[in-house]
Homo-oligomer: A and B are copies of this chain.
Amino acid sequence: MASINDVARLAGVSKATVSRVLNRTAPVHKQTEKRVNKAIRLLQYKPNLLAKGLKQKSGRLIGLLVPDINHPTYSLIVKHVESYARAAGFHLVLANTGNNPDEEARLIDNLLCRNVDGIIFLRVSNKSLAAERMAQSGVPFVLIDRAYEHSPFPFVMSDNYMAGVLAARYLISKGHHKIACVTGPPDISASIQRLAGFQDTLKQNDIALDPDHVLEGDFSFECGRRIARDILDTLPEISAIWAQNDPMAIGMMHTFLKNRIRIPGDISIMGMDDIELAALFVPGLTTVRQPFEKMCELAVQNLISSDSDRFSQLLLMPELVERDSVGTC
């Protein structure tokens, strides 16, 4: 690989001049510029980003920490983050944390060694001290899709309370009264907020959400299946269910369909997120869509913008997507 020295030698100039041609950081005589560019072309010169990064203390990298790359929602977020990062001239370093706090901590340290320009955390485990560690380092970071309660850390996420409101309003508008809600893990603010919005809206419409009808899930397909079986056994009166994410909703539909329960004929199901599969499953899943692309755009923008116009916390509005899994009651 040719270095800037080789270019300088071939063009008969100093490497400072080559650097100036490359970065347009100071005016260069037209003649000289031409010679330099010719040399660059001839040698197929490409600047070494490690050297550049070393001097400028910026690796032109953005780190993205994800609990599970293969999860349909997260991989969608990865895709959008990569796209916006690269559009801004950054590469993406991707790492799977597997929800392991130790791994998270180690990864943060590693990434900081690389002079990353920022780190985006996707649903960082809430036991981890990731955010504290980052805040201490001074490197910008954003949490996506999971906030710490009462914390000062920057995040961008959907307005989960409103998601609950939208879900409840829709089910009410379809005439449902006997309603259940399958939540995410109970220690996560998303689960709590979604449930609160859901519950409050039902109450405002004089519909009680029986505590027995609030089922605790963990956002996985598997638990959707399990809970669907429980509902079949113990709660036959239910006419509609809101699962707080699509995988659980689809897991439930899976079990119901296997047991010859018709959807939405016998029971209505609603999800949240709007993953690709939501449109593809039969029946199509009515769900509350999270604006993932916008979230990613804002997160990246936030990292690479100057300190002054960096937001701290941002709530985005979710949106109802109507398909075929909810019927009138």
If A48-B54, A113-B46, A280-B250 touch, does A79 touch B92 (CB 8 Å cutoff)?
A: no
Number of copies: 2
Contacts of A148 in B (CB 8 A): none
CA distance A282 to B259 in the complex (A): 11
If A54-B54, A95-B86, A258-B282 touch, does A69 touch B79 (CB 8 Å cutoff)?
A: yes
Beta-carbon contact of B82 and A94 below 8 Å: yes
In the complex, A303 has a CB within 8 A of chain B: no
In the complex, A72 has a CB within 8 A of chain B: yes
Which one of A47, A250, A282 has the highest number of Cβ atoms from chain B below 10 Å of its Cβ? A282
In the complex, A276 has a CB within 8 A of chain B: yes
Beta-carbon contact of B76 and A70 below 8 Å: yes
Interface residues of A in 50-96 (CB under 8 A from B): 50-51, 53-54, 59, 61, 68-70, 72, 75-76, 78-79, 82-83, 86, 91-96
Across the interface, A69 reaches (CB within 8 A) one of B75, B250, B254, B280, namely B75
Beta-carbon contact of B50 and A114 below 8 Å: yes
CA distance A50 to B53 in the complex (A): 7
**B-facing mask of A237-276, CB < 8 A → 1, else 0?**
0000000000000110110011000000000000000001
A-B contact pairs, 22 of them (CB 8 A): A46-B112, A47-B113, A49-B110, A50-B54, A69-B78, A69-B82, A70-B75, A70-B76, A70-B78, A70-B79, A75-B78, A78-B78, A82-B94, A91-B93, A91-B114, A92-B95, A93-B93, A221-B280, A254-B280, A254-B281, A257-B282, A277-B277
